[in-house]
Structure 1
Amino acid sequence: MAISLEKGGRINLEKEAPGLTNLHVGLGWDTRVTDGTDFDLDASLLMVNAEGKALNEKSFIFYNNRRSDCGSIEHMGDNLTGAGEGDDEVIKISLPTIPASCERIVVAVTIHEAESRSQNFGQVENAFIRILNADTQEEVVRYDLSEDYSTQTSLIFAELYIKDGQWRFAAKGDGFAGGLAKLLETYGLA
């Protein structure tokens, strides 16, 4: 049975799911308020070093760079509307092939063209991130966002990080304004 976390919660993935090496990171959401314009939420990952900066431009995985240069992470495609049940976007991660210089993997979601469409995360509901064992399809952990993010256009949903040689998961829910550009700037990318 999957562990359900609240904001700030953490688990040791290797203790909760011994032998876990291949992750299915599923992200989903529904729109609550709309003027008829579709919401295009975009999931992305950043591989980050000990200094809190992206390893390089190729370590930013999103709909236009769907595979990390080391082959450890693969974005499975962009859902332009969020329609349908279950995971709206999926990212696969192979933990054993993550470069040693990567200490954290930041999982973020941004609203495409949020300012021009007058959209924000306050208009989104049922947002979640979940980690499944990609080999067994068993859900390991889930974090359902429950706060009102009415001014934010970017959210760091979660982080995977290594501590004492083991991968862990942290439920973040850190929102900020400025969209994708601000997110990238935070981690040293232009």
Structure 2
Amino acid sequence: MASIIVAFPKAEDAKNIRNIIVRNGYQVAAVCVSGAQVLQAADNLGEGMVICSYRFRDMQYDHLKECLPRDFEMLLVASEEILDTCVAPDIVRLCLPLKVHDLMDTIEFMQSAIIRRQKKKKKMPKVRSEKEQKMIDAAKKLLMDRNSMTEEEAHRYMQKCSMDSGTNLVETAEMVFALMMN
């Protein structure tokens, strides 16, 4: 479950929203009354969502959104007039007066989007460092020279060994060196 930060300029409003969210089964990581507090909490958490008002003592919602880490979503709670001026497409908006059902449905929707993004990020192939790629290429070359394999065959062989042993390709390349050099 993604982290939730509740931020309103009045501490009482922020605590009331937090209580509603907690009563409906979610955990709130932080309750803030200023933009600086939100940014500090967001940096510590890494990813999640910010449920906030449009203005704080030290900044407005648009400046806060610009400063938030990339993996944070924003739910802006404000009057209809203020929401009409919000043109940012990546900010979810909820109109006052706030209905608990609407708030919880929106949070559920945002949580689902964050979870989908996390899963998608996990599926992306890991970017290897230059050193790791050189190790893999050298192991493939060694297999090609010693076993008369093509590069594709050597790569497939290393992938199969990697999957069979439950190790990543770099560790498999290291094992190929260890076995071939003895």
TM-score normalised to structure 1 length: 0.22
> Whose strand proportion is higher, 1 or 2?
1
Structure showing greater radius of gyration is: 2
TM-score normalised to structure 2 length: 0.23
> Whose helix proportion is higher, 1 or 2?
2
